[in-house]
Amino acid sequence: MYVYDQHDQTIVDQRVAQFRDQTQRFLAGEISEDAFLPLRLQNGLYIQRLAPMLRIAVPYGLLNSTQVRMLAHLTRKYDKGYAHISTRQNVQLNWPRLEDVPDILEELASVQMHAIQTSGNCIRNTTTDQFAGVATDELEDPRPYCEIIRQWSTLHPEFAFLPRKFKIAVCGTTQDRAAIYNHDIGLDLVTNEQGEVGFKVIVGGGLGRTPVIGSVVCDWLDKKHLLTYLEAILRVYNQNGRRDNKYKARIKILVRAMGVDAFRTAVEEEWASIKEGPSTLTQDVIERSKACFTAPDYEVIEAESALKALERQRDTDPLFSNWVKRNTVAHHVPGYRIVNISLKATGYAPGDITDRQLELLADLADQYSFGELRTTHEQNIVLADVRKDELYNLWQALQGADLATANIGYLTDMICCPGGDYCALANAKSIPVAEAIQRRFDDVDYVYDLGPLDLNISGCMNACGHHHIGHIGVLGVDKKGQEFYQVSLGGSKDKNAAIGKILGPSFKQDDMPDVIDRILTTFVDLRAEDEAFLDTYNRVGLDPFKERVYAKAD
Partner 1 sequence: MPKLIKDGAIVENDGWLPMDPEGTAPRVQHILSLEQWMTLDAKTNSAVQLEPGQPPAPLLEHLNELALVAVNFPAFTDGRGFSYARELREKGFKGELRAVGGFIRDQMHYLHRCGFNAFALADDSELEGALSALNEFSEHYQAATDEPAPLFRRR
Contacts with partner 1 by CB under 8 A lie at 5, 7, 10-11, 14-15, 17-18, 22, 31, 35, 38-39, 121, 148, 151-152, 154-162, 227, 235, 238-239, 243, 273-274, 277-279, 281-282, 285, 288
Of 391, 408, 390, the residue nearest 340 (C-alpha):
408
Q: Which is nearer to partner 1, 136 or 280 (CB)?
A: 280
Q: Which is nearer to partner 1, 168 or 417 (CB)?
A: 168
Q: Which is nearer to partner 1, 238 or 322 (CB)?
A: 238
Q: How far is the CB of 343 from partner 1 (least distance, A)?
A: 32
Q: Which is nearer to partner 1, 5 or 529 (CB)?
A: 5
Q: Which is nearer to partner 1, 17 or 295 (CB)?
A: 17
Q: Are 133 and 143 in contact (CB under 8 A)?
A: yes
End-to-end CA distance of the chain: 60
Of 468, 477, 379, the residue nearest 419 (C-alpha):
477
Which parts of 241-349 fold into alpha helices (H)? 251-258, 260-274, 283-291, 303-316, 318-327
Q: Which is nearer to partner 1, 107 or 231 (CB)?
A: 231
Q: How far is the CB of 307 from partner 1 (least distance, A)?
A: 43
Q: How far is the CB of 283 from partner 1 (least distance, A)?
A: 12
Q: How far is the CB of 245 from partner 1 (least distance, A)?
A: 13
Q: How far is the CB of 45 from partner 1 (least distance, A)?
A: 14
Q: What is the DSSP letter of 281?
A: P
Q: Are 477 and 487 in contact (CB under 8 A)?
A: no
Q: Are 182 and 491 in contact (CB under 8 A)?
A: no
Q: How far is the CB of 67 from partner 1 (least distance, A)?
A: 21
Which parts of 404-511 fold into alpha helices (H)? 431-440, 444-450
Q: Are 243 and 249 in contact (CB under 8 A)?
A: yes
* Residue 238 identity: N
Q: How far is CA 299 from CA 63, 111, 313, 347, in A?
A: 22, 28, 21, 38
Q: How far is the CB of 226 from partner 1 (least distance, A)?
A: 12
Q: Which is nearer to partner 1, 106 or 535 (CB)?
A: 106
**Residue 442 dihedral angles phi and psi, to the nearest 5°:** -95, 0
Q: How far is CA 292 from CA 129, 133, 177, 287, 408, in A?
A: 17, 12, 22, 9, 29
